[in-house]
Amino acid sequence: MPLTPGYGETPIPDDELVGLLPGIRDALGEPVGKAAIYDLEQAVYAAVVERLVPEIIDGDLTLSMLLSDSFVRDLHRQL
């Protein structure tokens, strides 16, 4: 007897769904599962890392810049 919901299909509770931006809910489709949220988060993290790591390696982003309030706030907004 299989378990329901299947692996990765655990639905997001309604009280958590209201926290998602409408565009994200539309992109994920219905019902929104935890695996879909996880996959989206990982894709966003990977895109931000792909963009920032070369800037850090090239020295375009210094430690003081990375630790600045404005950088941290902008990074949070992106994620």
Q: What is the pTM of this model?
A: 0.71
Residue corresponding to tokens 């007897």: 1
Q: For residue 37, give the nearest of 62, 53, 20 by alpha carbon.
A: 20
Which amino acid would we find at residue 73?
R
- pLDDT tens-digit profile, the chain (79 residues): 566 777 777 888 888 888 888 888 888 888 888 888 899 999 999 999 999 999 999 999 999 999 999 999 999 998 8
